[in-house]
Structure 1
Amino acid sequence: MTTRTQRRRAALALPAIVAVLALAACSGSGPAGADNAPPDDPPAPAATGTGPYPKPTTTAEVSPRATAPIRPPHGGIPVPASVDQEDASAVARGALTALYTYDTDVDPGRQQAALRMAAVGWTTAAYAAQQRAAQPRGGTGAAWNEWTRHRAYTTVEATQADEAGRPADTATTAYRQWDITITPRGRDGWTGDPEMSTAFVELTRTAGGKPWRLSALQVQ
């Protein structure tokens, strides 16, 4: 058998393998019930554009980890019911605002904000489970330690920054890009240097007309 024939047969077999893997990945589901509860995780199609957007997510088995109590930060955070949940951009903004709202008076570290975002219902069940299972990397860092000395909380500015490479929306999957600026503000009147990043968000929902939820995130 020639090398060319082998390559041709491998190429023909690949779509079938991908289809099997996709079917297996979509077998999980999340809890249902309350309006703000994470919805079941729908199957997500492959991205059709270019850029560092998150890859479609799958439900993974994770072990819950004990965490500090989830408490509201200074000024609170937005909840899904405060926005049009059929608007992917509005849901993305609300989720990112919750994710980057820190308060050193109630949070032991930055991961607590991710747990808080998931707890109020901005994410899919799978993403919430990933956050509960995440292990913090190293210490809280010099910036957080400085914020703590001033008993600081953060304010968040989120600006939509979609580019031409963004994958096209489908009925159940949407991608958004945001420029994020967070500013630490001390209870003693101190204001720290802003932190800036770019967030690439994947949102999914179970069907057209259902609420969007954050299902994956990459930050640069």
Structure 2
Amino acid sequence: MNNFSGSGKNGLFLRVKTEMLRHAPFTAGGAVSGIILMFIFSKISSGSALNIFYVLHPGHVFLSALVTASMYELHKRGKLKEKYPLFWLLAIGYIGSVGIATISDSLIPYIGEWLLGLPNKGTHLGFIEEWYIVNPLAVIGIAVAYFFPSTKFPHAAHILLSTWASLFHILSAGVITGVGSCVVVVFLFIAVWFPCCFSDIIFPLLFVEKGDVLHFH
């Protein structure tokens, strides 16, 4: 099992650096959309914001599972393909979507809420609190990837849903004003940029045999 094509750690580092830089502008665009929504919904109640979060977060998990599993499905070869292929697809798709989406949508926003001292801060772990929605959608995303693997459009939609889910998680903790808005923008970018690129691109390709990367995202 290897990382990416290239010369060992240097090849991995260069691939990660290239993809992170390539996706930064689009992530920034997602953050801008978050700013617009933040002003539109500046007076939203905590309960309403949380309800919207629990619509966006499961959608994010579904798309993340679809892209992560698709990336692996499109590149899988070698030993992992020959031995327990469905187990690896499920494991990689589930961990790469639910695990990393939880970090992106819940844990990083919670840190922002804590730093801002918002009154209603909370982690809101979707795979536990809304397990009957989030977990099945992850499995459905993996199943779709198994039969119809696709990465391009779902990744773009994934970035936007992740941005919006992170935003409404923060809005559910309290009203954002003044300097707090700038802090939120920074956390939206951080919450989406690395986690989404990691789950969609880097994580699944860690399980691909050397030389089996047909194309990068």
Q: Which category of TM-score, normalised to the shorter sequence, fits these structures?
A: under 0.3
* Larger RCO of the pair (alpha carbons < 8 Å, separation 6+): 2
Normalised to the residue count of structure 2, the TM-score between the two structures is 0.26
* Bigger Rg over Cα: 1
TM-score, normalised to structure 1's length? 0.26
Higher share of residues assigned helix: 2
